Amino acid sequence: MKALKWTFLLAGIALFAVSFKLPAIREVAQSGASGSTVAGYFCAFLALVRPWGKEGLTLLQSDALTYFSVLISGWINPVFVLALVVLLVRPASRLNWVFRGLLPVMFVFCWVVLQKIQFYGFHFHLYTGFYVWMAGILLAIFSDLWVKRRTTSTIAGTP
Helix (H) or strand (E) holding 24: strand 23-28
Structure confidence at residue 35 as a pLDDT band (50, 70, 90): confident
For 104-125, write each residue's pLDDT tens digit.
999 999 998 888 776 555 678 8
Domain boundaries, the chain: 2-26+36-148
pLDDT band for position 54 (cuts 50, 70, 90):
confident
Given a cut of 90, whether residue 13 has pLDDT beyond it is yes
| pLDDT > 90? residue 98 | yes
CA-wise closest residue to 51 among 109, 101, 107: 109
What letter does residue 91 receive in the DSSP assignment? Answer: T
Q: What's the pTM?
A: 0.83
Which of 39, 49, 24, 31 has the alpha carbon at shortest distance from 128? 24
